[in-house]
Amino acid sequence: MTTAVTPIRKDDFPGWYQEVLTLADLAEHAPVRGCMIIKPNGYAIWEVMQQILDKKFKKMGVKNAYFPLLIPLSFFEKEAEHIEGFAKESAIVTHTRLEKGADGKLHPASPLEEPLIIRPTSETIIGASFSKWIQSYRDLPMKLNQWCNVMRWEMRPRLFLRTSEFLWQEGHTAHASEDEARAMSLEMLGVYADFAEHYLAIPVIRGEKSEGERFPGAVNTYTFEAMMQDGKALQMGTSHFMGTNFAKASDIQFLSKEGTREYANTTSWGVTTRMIGAMVMVHGDDNGIILPPRIAPTQIAIVPFLMKEGDSSEVLNYCHKLKEELETIQYADRNLSVFLDERDLRAGEKSWDAIKKGYPLRIEVGAREMKEGKVALFLRTKEKKEVLFIPREELRSKISTILDQVHSDLYAKALSYREANTVTVASQIEFEKIFRQEVGATPFVMAPFKGDKALETKIQKEFGVTIRCIPHNLPPTSLSCLFTKQSGATQAIFAKSY
């Protein structure tokens, strides 16, 4: 069977992923090693994600702000665990001004008094501002977010998944009590997971990170994890409860109602352009990407079939009216976006291009459909030639339901795949057998665990897997740890990951 993508997923998943991004024209590698250029098609997806999430944040009382890209090294040194966690990923500015040397080349000329870190995250510099802005319990809670870029030096880049520079949002809040701050971090985890499932059509597992995977300086890190089509896990985003660790480092104190000086409890949380990569790897097939309709910048492509010269103007006029009508329909809190393909190409090429670019729906219109008063609909989740005919007058009332069907199909397929590739093991022998296999997709392995960071590191070195999360809402068990044999273990998900 002819496919648009070579190699196909089962033969070379990383190669397939790169080719799919190229066909959909989403991104490419930048001249700067480890960085990417997000092309208009890719950035349009990020814009839709931004718009949806930004509305959700603001409903929670979060306000947007912006903080500097460059952070003094001394700010990081205030929180020892934090700087240790990011030390190997940091990019540092040490000079200003360029001057031409005797060799005719440009050289940095003026050393800075203090090195500046290009932000890998902004806890320290936002903490410095919070320490000035928060004086009383009346100033709390303080909830801020910024949409920005960050830099984490990446030695093995992969577009959208791991790049040295990437786009994200990072939220930071300060609260009077531990309970309130913890509730905030868990509420945000819920917002993220709901977004993944109800907009990206990606089933996720909510849980807490283990000690070895916890954000540097956090008390608890909450995560939502998804399975890609090669069985590997992808951390979709995180929400951190910091306790008073960063408040003490940045001196974020407030006068309580009782008149005592207290340290604030803080949180931070974020998602990145990595979600675009997740969407591609979860839903794509061997013909290209498949965009979930609630997140797709363009939900419908109209392809006119102009078989005879005399039909052209009449068919195109019909298509323009169809486009105008569809774009008045509200879907997922915004008007439908429709692309009418009027390019000087054969209709078959246009249809094939619509498939590769992942439009959720494709409408093909020729003289016959126009005269018979029907619409030929093709769902991207179905076989490429499988057509659904709908009377033209019923399209307006049915289009949202059809788009929802695309979303449901994508979610159900991804969930079925994850369930089929998740196993529970009760012995270390089973665990080792699974992760020592050299061919095929590796599954999510649920196993009882009760150990420390050193044990996690040992497991990672030996099997190339990490604890992705300790899932929430699991019933208590009386199991013993697979590795230490200690009682009171909790079920954890182990997997290879991106």
pLDDT band at 2 (very low <50, low <70, confident <90, very high): confident
pLDDT beyond 70 at 11: yes
Give Cβ neighbours of residue 239 (< 8 Å, ≥ 6 apart).
185, 186, 188, 189, 192, 221, 222, 223, 267, 268, 269
For residue 17, pLDDT beyond 70: yes
**Rounded CA separation 398/240 (Å):** 42
**What's domain 13-91+118-283's superfamily in CATH?**
Bira Bifunctional Protein; Domain 2 (3.30.930.10)
Edge-first strand order for the sheet with 338-340 is 338-340, 300-304, 361-365, 374-379, 388-391
Length of the chain counted residue by residue: 498
Tokens of residue 331, six digits: 């879907």
pLDDT of residue 313: 87
- Identical fold, 13-91+118-283 and 422-495: no
Confidence of residue 442 (pLDDT cuts 50, 70, 90): confident
Amino acid 114 reads E
CA distance 152 to 159: 14
Question: Which residues contact residue 309 at a Cβ distance below 8 angstroms, ignoring those fewer than 6 apart?
Answer: none
* Dist. CA 117–CA 74, nearest whole Å: 10
- Among 3.10.450.50, 3.40.190.10, 3.40.50.970, 3.40.50.800, what is the CATH number of 300-417? 3.40.50.800
Q: What is the pLDDT of residue 83?
A: 74
Confidence (pLDDT) at 79: 76
Q: How far is CA 219 from CA 82, 95, 249, in A?
A: 12, 36, 14
Residues forming a β-bridge with 304: 365
Average pLDDT over residues 189-213: 98
Write out the CATH class of domain 422-495: alpha beta
Boundaries of every domain in the chain:
13-91+118-283, 300-417, 422-495
pLDDT tens figures, 75-118? 988 877 777 778 889 999 999 999 999 999 999 999 999 999 99
Residue 270 and residue 123 in contact, taking contact as beta carbons nearer than 8 Å: no
The pLDDT tens digits of the residues spanning 157-181 come to 999 999 999 999 999 999 999 999 9
| pLDDT one-digit tens code per residue, 361-412 | 999 999 999 999 999 999 999 998 899 999 999 999 999 999 999 999 999 9
